[in-house]
Chain A
Amino acid sequence: MIVLIVALLMITNVVTGLGVYYLAVPPRAGETITVIGPWAGAEMAKFLPVLDAFTNQTGIKVSYSIARQEDLKLILPVQFTAHRSPGDVVFMTSSFIKANGPLGNALDLTNVVDKSAYSAGALDPVTGTDGKVYGAVYTGKVKPGFWYRPSFFAAHSLTKPTTWPQFTSLLSDIKNISTVTNPIVSGDGVGWPLSDVTEHFIATYGGASMHRNLTAGSQMWTSAAVRSVFANRLVPLLAAGDFSAPLTWDSTAIQGWWSGQYALYFMGSWITGMTPPVDSSDLDVFSLPPAPGVTGGIVFAADYFFIPKYTTKVDAATQLLRYLASAAGQTVQVKQGGHLATVLNVPANAYPTVDAKVAALLTGKDVLVDLDDTKGDPFQANFWSQLKGLWTSSNPAADLDSILTSIQSQA
């Protein structure tokens, strides 16, 4: 009996030990470098051709590994303390790169990346407090405004608004259509659709400078100027039922929008790459009408990436970084739709039609970074939670002040 028990214990421990050994072995070295990115599914399918083009050009093999940025936020600091890195080129939030650069965890790219080749301020989010550039910028997605089906508008004789009164009357016209539940559908997901819409309001009516100040933390959410954007523009629409309640089932949101239950859907430019029923030949978009005297901005959510200092293949990783940051690399990505390049000399004809329309919306407006992505957690999760509260409140005007105070508490 004792022999049996001891043998069982030994076997278990040997199996465990072997398992741990094989699972804990570090990735094999070779001339393959690893890229870590957050894209999965259809998005990943569009990124891989870029890596293939790089391999064709340089002969360096690239393997792509998926990791979400919220997970990387926890695992990377641990790995960095052990002087290890799970990848050679890592896509991560700009706030993380900016913080880790001066800590010595990211390679200094000041001599690798040329700031002038990008739109103004594109590299600021990854420039450390010591002035050095620690990250590079890839393509991005724009969050231009409200998407609609031209066929729906034509069927109900609606037109794109160019002023605020036209916008509000458009909304009431839509409300009068019997099949419509709410004019604007609110997606939910984890909460970013609501923050995207809110940022659009802030950028348009508070101005690009207000958006930048809030991102930097130099302006308070509870200040009179910020409060008035909410109170005069967003809250009245919420109170009038112009927005639907946040729908977690995005398939419900998209289906409803496409089938006419809702008319407008605030989305980013990735919508052009979405699967059926969305059909990009029946898609158009308009931004919120500008307010006179206010220089508006459009949020351009660029993807940033860096090279951890602890990589063993610095040269190969740097080559890949240069490629992804170059016009050659970014053109391969934007050709497939849904992305806009950050580097300056990508020809306009590289873009599919709808994306060109989106790019056109950028003229005359400042380019802004995504507010909550740049600030990160704990601000971001709280921001989403509070906005959901604003959307679901029975009296948004009354709750506005406590919500703004809560947002400010984590800012």
Chain B
Amino acid sequence: MKSKWRKIRMRTIVVHLLAWSVALIWMIPFLGVLNTATRPASEVSFGWWQLNPYHPTLDNFIKALTQPVFSISKGYVNSLIIAVPATLVPIFVAALAGYGFCRFTFPMRDYLFLSIVLLMSVPAQMVAIPVFQIMVNLDLVDNQLSLILVHTAWGLPWIILFMRNFFTALPLEVEEAARVDGASDLKIFFRIVLPMAIPAFASAGILQFMWVWNDFFFALILIYTADKMPATLLVPKLAAGQQLTDWGLLSAGSILVLIVPLALYVLLQKYYIRGMIGWTIKG
């Protein structure tokens, strides 16, 4: 009997050790970047785990934030200017459409819905050339508005899927009752359905915000002047310096760019996970 308990305890210990070592090993690269970002670059040339000499400093972060051309603080502002509208607008528009696909019947509805959802798998490269041409014609190249428009349209397919699945799960009775009372579709939507959809908005919102914040490719083809660049676009600029690559600066800049989606994830983890699972797995 004692040996059985010992076996179980051994097993538990081993499993715990295993799990925690995996987590630790997983974090090593991040620790490395953090370490490099908080020390002068010359100290780290031969391995950031060399702790002799060790002079912790916030200089790299300050340099990254105040860099004359590619400053991360300007990058933050630009990323926000793009990400906030590009999150709010598609969520709202997609909620409308998702509800429409869910509650209304009309010819070809399911085919139309399927085609919109299929657009999710189209890579950004597929639309790059014409979108660039469109923005040239609208004189919106090198202008954040172009990115807002693109991200709004680009986010719609998956958010529509997400919203439709969400609405499908809502019980019909409340809406039916309101309809019997003579309320119009729009009124039902705004008065009854929307308030119930707040958690879905939160999940879709955080996912879309992070997607837009983390985007690089669209920004790469649409934004060219340094003071309009969103934060992600600045990272390679910090990397390829004029003559030298300042790795302290690069690490600090990377951490600064990474911290925003990370913080959002930590704060709104519940919604993020639910959002991610929600539209990949039904129910």
Contact = CB atoms under 8 A, between A and B. Distances in A.
A9 B89 contact: yes
A1 B190 contact: yes
A250 B190 contact: no
A24 B243 contact: no
Given A249-B247, A250-B244, A251-B245, 10 more contacts: A2-B187, A2-B190, A8-B88, A16-B85, A19-B144, A23-B228, A67-B225, A78-B142, A249-B245, A251-B246
A252 interface: yes
Interface string A267-287: 000100010000000000000
A43 B242 contact: yes
B169 to A, nearest CB: 21
Interface in B40-76: 41-42, 45-46, 68-69
The listed residue with most A CB atoms (<10 A of its CB), out of B85, B139, B144, B242, is B242
A75 B244 contact: no
Nearest to A274: B243
Interface string B134-164: 0010010111110010000000000000000
A74 to B, nearest CB: 6
Contact of B226 (A19, A67, A248): A67
Nearest to A268: B243
Nearest to B88: A12
Contacts of A71: 224-225
How many of chain B's residues touch chain A, expressed as a range?
Answer: 35 or more
Interface in A22-52: 23-24, 38-41, 43-44
Nearest to A1: B190
B118 interface: no
Given A12-B88, A19-B144, A40-B68, A251 B41 contact: yes
A255 interface: yes
Nearest to B42: A251
A78 B225 CA distance: 13
Contacts of B69: 40, 66
Contacts of A252: 45-46
18 contacts: A2-B191, A5-B92, A9-B88, A12-B88, A15-B85, A43-B242, A43-B243, A66-B68, A74-B224, A75-B141, A78-B136, A86-B225, A189-B245, A249-B45, A249-B247, A250-B244, A251-B247, A255-B45
B231 to A, nearest CB: 16
A319 to B, nearest CB: 26
B182 interface: no
How many of chain A's residues touch chain B, expressed as a range?
Answer: 35 or more
Contacts of A250: 243-245
B68 A16 contact: no
B174 interface: no
A249 B42 CA distance: 10
A23 B143 contact: yes
A67 B237 CA distance: 11
Interface in B76-105: 81, 84-85, 88-89, 92
A178 interface: no
The 8 tightest CB contacts between A and B, nearest first, are A2-B190, A75-B224, A250-B244, A252-B45, A20-B145, A66-B69, A16-B85, A1-B190
A82 B138 CA distance: 11
A81 B41 CA distance: 43
Given A19-B144, A20-B145, A78-B141, A5 B240 contact: no
Contacts of B130: none
B242 A41 contact: yes
Given A1-B195, A66-B68, A75 B243 contact: no
B131 interface: no
A150 B139 CA distance: 57
B73 to A, nearest CB: 16
Interface in B177-210: 186-187, 190-191, 194-195
Nearest to A74: B224
B42 A255 contact: yes
Interface in A51-74: 66-68, 71, 74
A294 interface: no
